[in-house]
Amino acid sequence: MNHMKLFAATVKWHGIKTLRKPDIARRAFFHGQRYVSSGTSEPFLSGSNSNYVEEMYYAWLENPQSVHKSWDLFFRNANAGQTYDPHLPDQLERKASFLQSHGLAQTPGKAEKLVEDHLAVQSLIRAYQIRGHHVAQLDPLGILDADLDSFVPSDLITTIDKLGFYGLHESDLDKVFQLPTTTFIGGNENSLSLREIIKRLENTYCQHIGLEFMFINDVEQCQWIRQKFETPGVMKFTNEEKRTLLARLVRSMRFEDFLARKWSSEKRFGLEGCEVMIPALKTIIDKSSEMGIEYVIMGMPHRGRLNVLANVIRKELEQIFCQFDPKLEAADEGSGDVKYHLGMYHERINRATNKKITLSLMANPSHLEAVDPVVQGKTKAEQFYRGDTAGKKVMSILLHGDAAFAGQGVVYETFHLSDLPSYTTNGTIHVVVNNQIGFTTDPRMARSSPYPTDVARVVNAPIFHVNADDPEAVMYVCSVAAEWRNTFNKDVVVDLVCYRRRGHNEMDEPMFTQPLMYKQIHKQVPVLKKYADKLIADGTVTLQEFEEEIAKYDRICEEAYTRSKDNKILHIKHWLDSPWPGFFNVDGEPKSMSCPPTGISEDLLTHIGNVASSVPVKDFKIHAGLSRILRARLEMTKNRVVDWALAEYMAFGSFLKEGIHVRLSGQDVERGTFSHRHHVLHDQEVDKRTCVPMNHLWEQQAPYTVCNSSLSEYGVLGFELGFAMASPNALVCWEAQFGDFHNTAQCIIDQFISSGQAKWVRHNGIVLLLPHGMEGMVRASDSDAHPQFPSKEDKQFEVSQLYECNWIVVNCSTPANYFHVLRRQILLPFRKPLIILTPKSLLRHPEAKSSFDEMVSGTTFQRVIPENGLAAQAPHEVKRVIFCTGKVYYDLVKERKNQDLEKQVAITRLEQISPFPFDLLKEELDKYPGADLVWCQEEHKNSGYYDYVKPRFRTIVNHTRPIWYVGREPAAAAATGNKNTHLVSLRRFLDTAFNLEAFEGKTF
């Protein structure tokens, strides 16, 4: 950087002359060359030949068509286009042979030199475009290298001697060069002196903005960026714009000051050191609103969040201030959350454009970056419901901290969704608060990439680094970012290189760990003062006006503070980020506490079955194996039975008729991991021709989206959760490839799905399909523990219990029950996450079929499927009741038959695991008073449901009867990979299950 300044000074000292007139330019161009030909050594260019080429060149400059096309080509190549320097010798060779073939040259001469120098200048220009950002002055503190490296690229002209790299010399500085088409530094001029070229490149690429974009492999996009930043005078602001910027900085800064004054010992994760973020966001929003955006969905971490709520979203200040009152009582149920996690939704008029704009800040947990995919999913849904396929009305903005942006893998997973057809939000604007520290960790210890933003390069997103102490540069960059998104519908990153004035939070002492940095920070003049001084000095505002602006905002804060004291009750629902108008009653409660039967008419079942068995598009050739599958479906439909896949079809299809959108997303969901689903048919003869029969059910139907996702759980589950947030009238399902893999998305499950409603009073009806056999186990929640259970006369128990739990976990043993639980998900008067442990081998098990009779109108989901065979007919003689869930039921039934114990042993299936069906199980337990009670599971003791069901069964029997365990021993790994071991352990526990003496004499 110091080199840079030195060179700028040198250039100035030499004096910059812009040669405007074409004739002067031409003269300077030729007569100013370093290697002026000596007539003797260069016969071709000596005397009249030289004049001839010169004349031809001048003529070409006036009008390229006036010379022979071979000369046109030659001069054009010399002036433009050839930008890749390794080819330079090659190019020269070709030129030489060109000249030779025309009998014009033996040795390099004037024309050669002309070409050489032009190519050198082109390379130089390109060097700045690629590497200029490495020497840009990005750190407001002036002590750190934003790219973690103090190296100065050798091809940037930071000192005069660097010209030698290009075969140029100080004396060439005033020579004029034709500019290639890959630069816009000339503005209206086609040629500039080398001195001016370097100066303009420095201005564009090495001042307060560092541009990284040359890795983008689309020339049009590169040209667009070059034009936006290189064109002389682009960064001009009107006085009005400058005053608005100052006023916004006043608000940003005084808000933090106000909080610091009133609550000096409270954590608030203030924005000091990056106050410019508020005007930056406002510029993005203004500019986007101007271009037609109506809805902006934002996700952000802790830093500056309260300021964003106050000054960007415009949440009433008193609502924010009252949150600091420790005596504030919560009116809503649930645990609530800290103030810098809550979300917000606000519709208002954008003052800059006078257009309506809706802003939504998504609530998020502490887990940094976890909200990114959630924001994207919600944005996609809002675009989808508006038919905004190109993202012209709805967009997302994601804010990041530098350490988290570089460190958290979900950032990468989210970027990889950005260009997938069913996941793209048509461009996100990322804003990084790059305060060059993460808690107490220096960037050099926090990342291996030069910038915290390098992750964005994988999707060819341009990255605009900007010194946050230059508010005008920040505004310009933000406005270009908004235009970029609008033009190319691609992601873009704005990296606000700033500092953190205080510790990680206001209580932390940063001098413990970053003493030198903080010595500098303590000396740092706040950006507001710097900018105000500048505007006062150039007469844009007066000191008095500035002081009045400050006084005005301070007054606003004081008045709000006074009003905030009247707020004694906190309504978390006032902080909802995704309200569902009309779904709840005016108090935000469900409109009823009942759920209608979930069955559908026989006609509907038949119709859906027929479509599911067909290829509803003409001349479409499907695979022969698939034809067999479809024929089997048709057969089942005729026989009024369904397997798993068909039951799912029935549930999805029925919703589409009712106008409910269905979305199924996850790895390989279109076909289904186990090749059972086949929701997308592929033409065997026409590449990429596909058909989704589900979208051919009715003339008027809701659309069905089924989409194979990227190989990500964290990102994609977060995305679908966000999608499900946008509307209660959609069934949004995410399927894991195998259930076990859900745990790479554990953060979404724990922080959003399991606890989201408790923290943010926000409902969500997402469905998780987790193929489950021996492997994996979803963690059942404890929050549904129900110490008391009502008598079975309480008809509302089932629904109210669902309402009170945090999520629903089911493991269905029949296709019909799977159908019903999906249907119930939408027919309930509220939304609750649903986790379904879905089968693998049962998908094709001959016994795992259901009749239409179990699905027609009037039928419902069965939380418990009681024994209904011989044992149930004489319950008093039953010696044992085995309770189980899922696939093991079929193993147990087979074994019971083998051992001829159908009268002695009852087998009852627990289909809904959470909330626990206390009422129905009590009925079962009461029915078999003389039987011992067994819980049987195929999972290992420490990974199945035993620990969850045991205390609940005991509650039912009031601790008077034991519930014995039958299943595999505890194990560290979820499943064995050895078939024999698996079968031996299965045999062993089946033997125990039917050994009626197994527990005799044992105590509990």
Binding site for ligand TPP (CB under 6 A): 303, 366-368, 401-404, 433, 435, 437-439, 500, 504
HSE-up (13 A, CA, CB side) for residue 640: 9
The crossing angle, in degrees rounded to 10, of helices 110-131 and 47-62 is 40
**Residue (430 or 863) nearer to Mg ion, CB:** 430
Shortest distance, CB of residue 503 to ligand TPP, whole angstroms?
A: 10
**Residue (401 or 718) nearer to Mg ion, CB:** 401
**Residue (346 or 367) nearer to ligand TPP, CB:** 367
**How far is it, in rounded angstroms, from Cα 142 to Cα 5?**
13
Reduce the DSSP state of residue 910 to 3 states and report it.
Answer: strand
Shortest distance, CB of residue 410 to ligand TPP, whole angstroms?
A: 9
* DSSP string across 710-775: -S-SHHHHHHHHHHHHH-SSEEEEEE-SSGGGGGGGHHHIIIIIITHHHHH------EEEEE-SSS
**How far is it, in rounded angstroms, from Cα 804 to Cα 207?**
58
Residue 366, contacted partner among ligand TPP, Mg ion, none, CB below 5-8 A by kind: ligand TPP
Contacts of 52 (CB under 8 A, 6+ apart): none
139 interacts with Mg ion by CB under 5 A? no
**How far is it, in rounded angstroms, from Cα 856 to Cα 816?**
10
Shortest distance, CB of residue 508 to ligand TPP, whole angstroms?
A: 10
**Residue (404 or 497) nearer to ligand TPP, CB:** 404
**Residue (206 or 432) nearer to Mg ion, CB:** 432
**Residue (498 or 595) nearer to ligand TPP, CB:** 498
* Binding characters for Mg ion, 416-445, by CB under 5 A (x = yes): -------------------x--x-------
Shortest distance, CB of residue 274 to ligand TPP, whole angstroms?
A: 8
Shortest distance, CB of residue 402 to ligand TPP, whole angstroms?
A: 4
Shortest distance, CB of residue 455 to ligand TPP, whole angstroms?
A: 13
| Paired tokens of 401 | 């901290």
CB-based contact 407:443 (threshold 8 Å): no
Residue 609, contacted partner among Mg ion, ligand TPP, none, CB below 5-8 A by kind: none
Shortest distance, CB of residue 236 to Mg ion, whole angstroms?
A: 32
Residue 404, contacted partner among Mg ion, ligand TPP, none, CB below 5-8 A by kind: ligand TPP
CB-based contact 248:488 (threshold 8 Å): no
DSSP type of residue 593: S
- Secondary structure element (H or E) that encloses residue 641, with its range: strand 641-642
CA-to-CA separations, 444 to 147, 149, 212, 434, 437, in angstroms, rounded = 10, 9, 20, 13, 9
**How far is it, in rounded angstroms, from Cα 150 to Cα 446?**
18
Residue 196, contacted partner among Mg ion, ligand TPP, none, CB below 5-8 A by kind: none
**Residue (225 or 277) nearer to ligand TPP, CB:** 277
* DSSP string across 986-997: HHHHHHHHT-TT
Phi/psi at 442 (nearest 5 deg)? -70, 150
CA-to-CA separations, 760 to 48, 360, 755, 829, 950, in angstroms, rounded = 85, 14, 8, 19, 31
Residue 572, contacted partner among Mg ion, ligand TPP, none, CB below 5-8 A by kind: none
Q: Which residue is nearest to ligand TPP (CB)?
A: 401
CB-based contact 706:666 (threshold 8 Å): no
**How far is it, in rounded angstroms, from Cα 795 to Cα 797?**
5
The interface with Mg ion within residues 354-393 (CB under 5 A) comprises: none
**Residue (269 or 999) nearer to ligand TPP, CB:** 269
CB-based contact 950:936 (threshold 8 Å): no
Shortest distance, CB of residue 576 to ligand TPP, whole angstroms?
A: 23
Shortest distance, CB of residue 194 to ligand TPP, whole angstroms?
A: 41
Phi/psi at 303 (nearest 5 deg)? -65, 115
Shortest distance, CB of residue 886 to ligand TPP, whole angstroms?
A: 33
Whose tokens are 């869930």? That residue is 885
Shortest distance, CB of residue 157 to ligand TPP, whole angstroms?
A: 34
Residue 738, contacted partner among ligand TPP, Mg ion, none, CB below 5-8 A by kind: none
**Residue (439 or 738) nearer to ligand TPP, CB:** 439
Shortest distance, CB of residue 446 to ligand TPP, whole angstroms?
A: 8
Residue 368, contacted partner among ligand TPP, Mg ion, none, CB below 5-8 A by kind: ligand TPP
**Residue (402 or 648) nearer to ligand TPP, CB:** 402
Phi-psi map region of 489: left, alpha, beta (phi>0 left; psi -120 to 50 alpha): left
* Binding characters for Mg ion, 401-420, by CB under 5 A (x = yes): xxx-----------------
**Residue (370 or 395) nearer to ligand TPP, CB:** 370
Reduce the DSSP state of residue 398 to 3 states and report it.
Answer: strand
Residue 303, contacted partner among ligand TPP, Mg ion, none, CB below 5-8 A by kind: ligand TPP
Shortest distance, CB of residue 836 to Mg ion, whole angstroms?
A: 40
**Residue (78 or 403) nearer to Mg ion, CB:** 403
The interface with Mg ion within residues 25-44 (CB under 5 A) comprises: none
Q: How many helices (H) and strands (E) does the chain have?
A: 33, 28
**Residue (364 or 908) nearer to ligand TPP, CB:** 364
* Contact range with Mg ion by CB under 5 A, out of 293-301, 360-368, 394-402, 782-790: 394-402
> By the criterion CB under 5 A, which residues form the site for Mg ion?
401-403, 435, 438
